[in-house]
Amino acid sequence: MLAECKRHGYFRAELCPACEEKGRFMMNDEELERIGRIMAGVLRHFPDRFGVTMDGHGWVDLNQFVGAVRQAKPHYHWLRPYHIQAIVETDPKGRYQMDGGMVRATYAHSVEVNLDDLPDANTDELYFPCSEEELDILLEKGLNPTDRKKIHLSGTLEKAVQAGRVKIESPIILAIDAGTATKDGLKIKRAAKTVYIADAVPSKYLKKLDVDMTQFATPGPGEGED
């Protein structure tokens, strides 16, 4: 459930985690999931399908977005800009940004956007999951985007394992020497709480890690997804 506490702002729970008061109801879990999926689709993949104008950095006008959703999905006639703001502010993965009446997704685009205005990575090591079949190719040719415009890197080993387990039970984890790569001029941007993006990562910055998978719990629904 999405709700608002007068003292502590928006939250996703039955009770405000700060004061344990109920707060003002905004939308139920099903509505939150469905509108979240629309946001991801429009802001990452198909703005034209909803008649929304996206600039070169992925930003769309918040009011235009809300109006487009209400027109395309009349049962969401109650949707207002503050609902989208609440979703953005409470998103557990930090997948969206708002600024000056504009909103955008910060990663996972299949449309061409320039995300150079995201903050630079400030970390020595990042991680990437792969399969046994992919390993030799990646160690030889590096990481290059396929269905998305950027390579997505995990900020923690645990998140890399979770991302890998979306596809295979025991992923192989590659470590990226992000500190050296950025010193060498490679642009790596922080796109969310634990997600980093790059246009590509040359193989010289990659190495295979020996990871004991038993130390990581199986992720719950949605934990390894974008």
For the chain, domain boundaries: 2-105, 125-215
**Residue 96: how many CA atoms within 13 Å on its side-chain side?**
26
Cα distance between residue 23 and residue 220, in whole Å: 27
Region 2-15: mean pLDDT is 96
Cα distance between residue 208 and residue 45, in whole Å: 32
Q: How confident is the model at residue 135 (pLDDT cuts 50, 70, 90)?
A: very high
- Residue 192 phi/psi, 5° resolution? -160, -170
If you classify domain 2-105 with CATH, what class do you get? mainly alpha
CB 224 within 8 A of CB 163: yes
Q: How confident is the model at residue 219 (pLDDT cuts 50, 70, 90)?
A: low
pLDDT at 170: 87
User: How much is the pTM?
Assistant: 0.87
Query: Token pair for residue 213?
Result: 């998978």
The CATH number of domain 125-215, selected from 3.40.50.360, 3.20.170.30, 3.40.50.150, 3.20.20.80: 3.20.170.30
pLDDT at 225: 53
Average pLDDT, the chain: 93
What b-and-e string marks burial along 89-118, b requiring 16 or more CB atoms within 10 Å of the CB? ebeebbbbbbeeebbbbbbbbeeebebeeb
